[in-house]
Structures are given as structure tokens and as C-alpha cells.
């Protein structure tokens, strides 16, 4: 069934003289190019791109697409990153010409519908987070983290305070310390306690006047809600610091609890995970941020405001950090988030979180019988099981990876493995609310089955895919990152 001819490299499919797109003849004066532009600026020949006809291109990319797993085709229990169903109506509605073909520098009077929608979305995100200041500009979750930390830096500068340290728990996403450094802070790691929550004693030991921000992921990457969060916020606030909430896991608490109500001063959303944005094989995302009122003046410029019946972009923000990207933001992604929020409504959003948590706990209740879940019988949106036992039982070096790879043969995407770093041979499993009990049962059965399979079968898995176990060491050592003519 596989069409391996069509999936040869574009450059191997190329034949001189083939064309995919032909442009109309020039309908205005058509002088030679060197009459318009200086000869030394012109290339002798166009770039050496491949030459293909439209049918070549269509068959090539259609066949390539079939080599991917996707949410439309498969279950992705990819903890922390996970993907929920991407509604088709959002695609259609975000693709209306009145959104898709709007130029970013059109006069405001010509984009009132768009500005109204973005203004409303700012309000929805503020209400869901309990934090009133909103910027839709950041292009991804990590970009939102960075923008928010820059807001914090500007806030402290404005107050004449020199605070140089950002604290992150050891269970945090790698983006947290990386963002802290890019915002000019030193990053210091706080160990987690045995229960997977922040070690309060360790935190107290670090708290002093140098601390700018404590970054907390809550619910955290173990799928636990840290009930100490209000106490942590009090401790940090008492020393003049700010609390940043990594909102990766907002999908667990929609309408149940709000970051602004549990002490957070700044946060970002990951709309792909919380508000059903498609991930496009690795982006685009968006990373809107919400902040407390005293931080609002420092948000990126512009923000959408309403002046009577007129919506406007407010550029007059003298204390703003400026811009973190050109133009307004990832509007296409924000439109989908808007559609999702309007489709769910307040009750529906709460049901999203209730069912995400129900599905995760149900799966946990099935998995814990054959793979230990070190942090207990209850979780929020995800849980982390340990495959460490298989190291001893089967002599596997990387049992979590092997199980994940073998699950691919059963038609399931692998869980996130070896993260968080605090659990040995971690399998981080997040089902989302958009999966059925039957799918969860089938997944649990497949995981049970593969965890009993032979070391050989696991070590060489997957067996049903077109390729298996790429040599990543050679890839990194030789770094062949483009096609070359052989």
C-alpha cells in the first residue's frame, strides 16, 4: 500500500522543466530587470529549487502525511504536552476571509470585528485566570514565560529593586529556567519533597531580597495540585517577590480554581492543550499571558482597548516592556481558542476539566496494578508511572522508552518518557477529556500487555512502523541537516 516513489525526497523527484505554478503575463510596462535594479544586486540565476509539477507535489505531501500519527487518527497520551481533539468548526471559522486575509497594518476602522473578538478573548482569559491584565502577543507558551518574566524585570526596575534570581522547582519544564536566563535572571532550582510537592523548607532557605520570581507549575508535572500554593505565595510575597504560574496544566482547573485566587501574579496559557488549538506538527502555538493589576502597565504593546463603541489598539503604554515579536500575535491560534471557549461556555469548560481529571484518574486506577505510580492513587489531569521495575525484571536499560516504542505498534502514541526528572523511568500519561472510556480501556490493556512482553520484543520495538529506532547518536555527530546531491 505504501507509495515509496512519492515519498522520495523532493530533490530526487525534481525534473528540469516541470512547473507547479505559472504566473500571469505582466500587464504593466515590463522593462528588463536590470533597467529597474542595479546589475550587481541581481542574481545570475534563480535559486536552485527543485522543479515539480502540481501532481508531484500533491502526491508527495499526501503520502508523507500518512507517515504521521495525529490526533485525528490516534490517541496521544503525551503527558504535559498532550493533544486533545481539534474541532473542525474552529478550522472553518478561523479561515473565514474576514480573518485570514486581514493585513496587520489596516486602519482600525476596518478591523472592528477582529478587535472586538480579541478584546472579548482578553476578557475571557482574565476571567478564567483571575488575573485582569492580558497580553495576546506571545507566540508560544515558552515565549509567554519569557514575556512575563520580562514584565517582572521591568516591574522591579520601575521600583528601583535589584532582584536577580528566579526559583524553579526541579519538576519544572525546561523552558522555565531557560526563559529565566533569557530574561536576564539567574535560575536556581528548588528540590521537590518526597511527595512531589515543593519542599517548603528548601524554599524558605532560598528566600531573600534577591528573589524576583518563584515559578510554579500547578497542577504540577506529576499531575498533583500543590495545596501549599497559597502559603508559598504568602512567603514569596512577604519578601517582595512575585509568583509565576506555568499554565501548561490549566486544562485541569478551568472554572474550579483560578491562579489569581491562589496567589499567582503572572501566568501563561498553552492554548493548544487547554483550548484545543492544533499543534501542526510542532507549532504554531500561542502564549497569551495574564498578570495582576499592578503588573498590567508593563505588558507588551499593543493591547486591545474599548473606547465607547470603538475598539482600538493601545500603543500609549510608557511603562510597557515593548514588543516580544512583530505584529499583534498568533491571531490564527487565538481565533481557535475563542471558538473553543464560546463553544464550551462556563459549564462546558468546567466539564472539560472534570472529565480530563476523571479520565486521568480512571486510567491511573487501571495502570497502577501493573506499573507503580509513586505519587499516589489520585491525580489531576495526568499521572506519572514508573517502569523502573522492568529494568531489573527484564534487564532493559531504558524500559520507559521501550514500552513507549512498543505501544506505537498497538496504534497508540507513546506517553512522555523520562520526564519529570524526579521519577525514575517515568511514563507521564495524560489522556484529556476528549477520549472515551473504550479508548482508555484499550490503552490500559495494551500497556499491560506490552509490559509483560519479552525484552527482545520491547528493545527492538516498534516493529510495525516504516522505520524503527533511528540512530540518533550518528545524527547528532554527523549533523546532516539538508539534502545534498549524491
Partner 1 sequence: MSYILNTPEDQQAMLAAIGVASLDELFSSIPQQLRLRRPLDLPPALTELDLTGHMQTLADRNAHAGSHVCFLGGGSYDHFIPAAVDALAARGEFYTSYTPYQPEVSQGNLQAMFEYQTLICQLTGMDVSNASLYDGGSATVEAALLSMSVTRRMGKVVTVDSLHPEYQQVLATYLANLPTQLVTVPVPAGRLAPQRLAAAVDQQTACVLLQHPNFFGGLEDVRAVADIAHQAGALLVLVVDPLSLGVLQCPAALGADVVVAEGQCLGNPMQFGGPYLGIIACREQFIRRLPGRIAGQTVDRRGRRCWVLTLQTREQHIRREKATSNICTNQGLLALRATIYLSLLGPQGLREAATLCARKAHYACQRITAHPRWTRRFDGPTFKEFVIRDTAGQVAEQVAQAAAEGILAGVPLARWYPDLADCLLVAVTEKRTRDEIHRWADVLAGPVHQVVASHA
Identify whether the C-beta of residue 433 lies closer than 8 Å to the C-beta of residue 440.
no
- Contact call for residues 249 and 270 (beta carbons, < 8 A): no
Lookup result for grid cell 472510556: 437
Nearest distance from C-beta of residue 147 to partner 1, angstroms: 9
CB-nearer residue toward partner 1: 24 or 392 = 24
From CA 293, how far away is CA 286, in angstroms rounded? 22
Which residues are bridge partners to 314 per DSSP? 303
CA atoms within 13 A on the CB side of 279: 19
Q: Which is nearer to partner 1, 389 or 439 (CB)?
A: 439
Shortest reach from residue 430's CB to partner 1, in Å: 12
3-state secondary structure of 220: coil
Q: Rounded distance, CA 95 to CA 92, Å?
A: 5
Whichever of 240 and 376 has its CB closer to partner 1, that residue is 376
> What is the nearest approach in angstroms of partner 1 to the Cβ of residue 400?
13
Q: Compute the least distance from the CB of residue 1 to partner 1, in Å.
A: 15
As measured in angstroms, the least distance from the Cβ of 69 to partner 1 is 4
Mutual angle of helices 141-158 and 175-182, in 10-degree steps: 40
- Strands 186-190 vs 211-217: parallel, antiparallel or unpaired: unpaired
Quote the cell numbers at residue 308.
Answer: 465607547
Q: Residue with C-alpha cell 502559603?
A: 231
Considering beta carbons, is residue 40 or 392 the nearer one to partner 1? 40
Integer CA distances (angstroms), 389 to 171, 386, 424, in order: 22, 8, 10
Shorter beta-carbon distance to partner 1: residue 145 or 207: 145
Q: Shortest gap between Cβ of 364 and partner 1 (angstroms)?
A: 8
DSSP state letter for 81 = T
* Least gap, CB of 318 to partner 1 (angstroms): 14
Tell me phi and psi for residue 223, to 5 degrees.
80, 20
For partner 1, give the closer residue by CB, 331 or 390.
Answer: 331
Nearer to partner 1, 108 or 445 (CB): 108
Choose between 203 and 304: whose C-beta lies nearer to partner 1: 304
* 203 within 8 A of 232, measured Cβ to Cβ: yes
Nearest to 119 by CA among 349, 352, 348, 331: 331
Under DSSP, the state recorded for 155 is H
Write out the three cell numbers for 378. Answer: 489520585
CA angle 124, 127, 326 (to 5 degrees): 50
Q: Distance between CA atoms of 314 and 420, rounded to whole angstroms?
A: 40
User: Which three cell numbers mark 353?
Assistant: 476539566
Kindly state the smallest distance separating residue 386's Cβ from partner 1, in Å.
20
Tell me how crowded residue 243 is: count the other CB atoms within 10 A of its CB: 25
How large is the angle between the packed helices 331-367 and 112-129, nearest 10 degrees?
Answer: 30
The CA-based dihedral angle spanning residues 261, 264, 270, 273, taken in that order and rounded to the nearest 10 degrees: -50
**Least distance CB 60 / partner 1 (angstroms):** 8
> Rounded to the nearest whole angstrom, what is the least distance from the CB of residue 345 to partner 1 in the complex?
3
In the complex, what is the shortest distance from the CB of residue 480 to partner 1, in angstroms, rounded to a whole number?
Answer: 4
Cβ-based nearer residue to partner 1, 291 or 331: 331
Nearer to partner 1, 203 or 349 (CB): 349
> At closest approach, how far in Å is the CB of 391 from partner 1?
21
Please say which residue, 323 or 393, places its beta carbon nearer to partner 1: 323
Question: Please, which residue, 272 or 394, has the CB nearer to partner 1?
Answer: 272
DSSP conformation class of 8: S
The side-by-side arrangement of strands in the sheet containing 289-291 is: 133-135, 289-291, 266-269, 242-247, 211-217, 165-169, 186-190
Amino acid at each position: 500500500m505504501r507509495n515509496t516513489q512519492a515519498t522520495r525526497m523532493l530533490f530526487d523527484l525534481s525534473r528540469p522543466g516541470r512547473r507547479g505554478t505559472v504566473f500571469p503575463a505582466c500587464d504593466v510596462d515590463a522593462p528588463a530587470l536590470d533597467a529597474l535594479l542595479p546589475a550587481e544586486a541581481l542574481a545570475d540565476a534563480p535559486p536552485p529549487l527543485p522543479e515539480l509539477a502540481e501532481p508531484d507535489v500533491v502526491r508527495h505531501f499526501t503520502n508523507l502525511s500518512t507517515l504521521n500519527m495525529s490526533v485525528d487518527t490516534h490517541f496521544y497520551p503525551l503527558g504535559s504536552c498532550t493533544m486533545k481533539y481539534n474541532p473542525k468548526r474552529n478550522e472553518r471559522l478561523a479561515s473565514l476571509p474576514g480573518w485570514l486575509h486581514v493585513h496587520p497594518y489596516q486602519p482600525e476602522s476596518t478591523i472592528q470585528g477582529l478587535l472586538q473578538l480579541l478584546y472579548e478573548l482578553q476578557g475571557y482569559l482574565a476571567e478564567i485566570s483571575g488575573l485582569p491584565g492580558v497580553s495576546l502577543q506571545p507566540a508560544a507558551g515558552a515565549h509567554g514565560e519569557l514575556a512575563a518574566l520580562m514584565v517582572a524585570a521591568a516591574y522591579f526596575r520601575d521600583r528601583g529593586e535589584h532582584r536577580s534570581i528566579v526559583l524553579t522547582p526541579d519538576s519544572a519544564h525546561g523552558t522555565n529556567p531557560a526563559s529565566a536566563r533569557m530574561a536576564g535572571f539567574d535560575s536556581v532550582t528548588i528540590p521537590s519533597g518526597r511527595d512531589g510537592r515543593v519542599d517548603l523548607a528548601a524554599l524558605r532557605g532560598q528566600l531573600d531580597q534577591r528573589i524576583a520570581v518563584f515559578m510554579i507549575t500547578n497542577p504540577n508535572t506529576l499531575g498533583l495540585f500543590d495545596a501549599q500554593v497559597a502559603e508559598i505565595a504568602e512567603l514569596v510575597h512577604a519578601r517582595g517577590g512575585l509568583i509565576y504560574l506555568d499554565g501548561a496544566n490549566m486544562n485541569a482547573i478551568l472554572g474550579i480554581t483560578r491562579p489569581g485566587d491562589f496567589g499567582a501574579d503572572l501566568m501563561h496559557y498553552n492554548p493548544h492543550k487547554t483550548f484545543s488549538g492544533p499543534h501542526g506538527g510542532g507549532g504554531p502555538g500561542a502564549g497569551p499571558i495574564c498578570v495582576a493589576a499592578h503588573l498590567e502597565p508593563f505588558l507588551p504593546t499593543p493591547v486591545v482597548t474599548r473606547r465607547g463603541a470603538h475598539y482600538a489598539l493601545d500603543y500609549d503604554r510608557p511603562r510597557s516592556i515593548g514588543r516580544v515579536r512583530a505584529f499583534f500575535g498568533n491571531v490564527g491560534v487565538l481565533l481557535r481558542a475563542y471558538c473553543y471557549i464560546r463553544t464550551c461556555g462556563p459549564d462546558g469548560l468546567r466539564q472539560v476539566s472534570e472529565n480530563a481529571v476523571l479520565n486521568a484518574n480512571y486510567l491511573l486506577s487501571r495502570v497502577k496494578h501493573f506499573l507503580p505510580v509513586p505519587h499516589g492513587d489520585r491525580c489531576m489531569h495526568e499521572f506519572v508511572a514508573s517502569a523502573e521495575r522492568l529494568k531489573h525484571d527484564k534487564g532493559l536499560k531504558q524500559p520507559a522508552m521501550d514500552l513507549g516504542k512498543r505501544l506505537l505498534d498497538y496504534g497508540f502514541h507513546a506517553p512522555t518518557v523520562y520526564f519529570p526528572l524526579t521519577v525514575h523511568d517515568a511514563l507521564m500519561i495524560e489522556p484529556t477529556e476528549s477520549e472515551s472510556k473504550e479508548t482508555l480501556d484499550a490503552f490500559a490493556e495494551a500497556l499491560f500487555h506490552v509490559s509483560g512482553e519479552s525484552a527482545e520484543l520491547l528493545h527492538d520495538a516498534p516493529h510495525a512502523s516504516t522505520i524503527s529506532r533511528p540512530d540518533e547518536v550518528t545524527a547528532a555527530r554527523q549533523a546532516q541537516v539538508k539534502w545534498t546531491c549524491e
